[in-house]
Amino acid sequence: MNVAGEDQSSQASKAHPDLIVRLRGLTKTYRQGAIEVPAVRGVDLDLARGEFTVLAGPSGSGKTTLLNMVGALDTPTAGTVEVDGQTLDQLSATQLAQMRLQRIGFVFQAYNLIPVLNAFENAEYVMLLQGKTAEMRQRVVSRVLAQVGLADLASRRPAELSGGQQQRVAVARAIASAPALVLADEPTANLDSKSATELIELMHTLNRTEGMTFLISSHDTKIIERARRVIWLEDGKIVSDSAK
């Protein structure tokens, strides 16, 4: 699986070698009873490798929906999603799972750690699914836990960690699998400002030192201020796209 996945990416990436995300005419409409509610309407967007992009906008502007479609968690009503050169149209549930597993790291608003696993095991989980060797997992997870500053708390279960610590474990989990893209949906929403600042710093450092691509949805001004590129979304449409 792993080998096959890399094959596909190297083939497909010939078309747009420097683009990690390429959206064209992306549209998502939810049905609520008889009424159709458009959440995302015709979004075109390109993200280059190594970018640190924030998707900003008010609640209900379609940030999370857009992020979910980029993350292969949700399927668009119309338009195409290309991630790391791979078009997501018409992939089966298993293939989508494979896509998420190999290319994408997630950080969720509500941490979403697996309660029965400790910090180390949570961070290790995706690598396990990827079929990495025990030796490699040990090495990588120790490193990423150290990077997020939790080397000492590796054996604690989520219930024994603070919110900020849990979210750092989530980041460790997201980056341990060396994804092409890390998606974070309102990662600081449930954190106090100190923890939030620390988390933002952590992500920037990872972006700088590891060259990891981040796409973060947020309306937290602290995040927006520090981003190199900010895309404003309103009513499911891009209203501005500014890079520093």
Partner 1 sequence: MIWRLAWRSVLRQRRRTLITVIAISLGLALILFSVGMQIDTHQTMIDLGVRMGSGHVAIQAEGYQQHRSLDYLLSGSRRLLAQLRQLSGVRRAIPRLEAAGLVRAGESSAAIAVVGVDPSEEQAVAGLARKSYRRRGRYLSADVRGNRPADIYIGSGLAQTLQVGVGDRVVLTVSPLDDRANSSAAFVVCGIFRTGVTELDSFLVQLPLSAAQQLLSVGDGLTQIAVLLEDGDSARATAARWQARFAAQHGTAMRREILPWQVTHAELYDGLKLDKNFNYLIAGIIFLIIAIGIFNTIQMSVVERTRQFGVMMALGTAPRRMFALVVAEATLIAIVGAIVGLAIGLALHGLMVRYGIDIETMSGGVDSYEFGGVALTGTLHSRLPVPIVALWAAIIVAITLLSGIYPALRATRLRPVSAMRHS
What's the CA gap between 32 and 29, in Å, rounded? Answer: 10
Q: What are phi and psi of 9, to 5 degrees?
A: -65, -40
If one asks whether residue 98 binds partner 1 (CB under 8 A), the answer comes out as yes
If one asks whether residue 22 binds partner 1 (CB under 8 A), the answer comes out as no
If one asks whether residue 125 binds partner 1 (CB under 8 A), the answer comes out as yes
Q: What are phi and psi of 227, to 5 degrees?
A: -75, 150
> Can you tell me which of 126, 144, 206, 212 binds partner 1, judged by CB under 8 A?
126
By CB under 8 A, which span of 125-133, 186-194, 218-226, 227-235 interacts with partner 1? Answer: 125-133
CA atoms in the 13 A half-sphere facing the CB of 108: 8
Q: What are phi and psi of 240, to 5 degrees?
A: -155, 155
> Can you tell me which of 108, 163, 234, 235 binds partner 1, judged by CB under 8 A?
108
116, 186 contact by CB (below 8 A)? no
> Can you tell me which of 13, 68, 165, 195 binds partner 1, judged by CB under 8 A?
68
What's the CA gap between 182 and 34, in Å, rounded? Answer: 36
Q: Count the residues of the shown chain that bind partner 1, applying the rule CB under 8 A.
A: 27
Rg (CA), the chain: 18
> Can you tell me which of 114, 146, 239, 243 binds partner 1, judged by CB under 8 A?
114
> C-beta of 55: minimal distance to partner 1 in Å?
16
What's the CA gap between 43 and 6, in Å, rounded? Answer: 28
If one asks whether residue 73 binds partner 1 (CB under 8 A), the answer comes out as yes
> Which residues lie near partner 1 (CB under 8 A)?
68, 71, 73-74, 93-94, 97-102, 104, 106, 108, 110, 112-117, 125-126, 128-129, 173
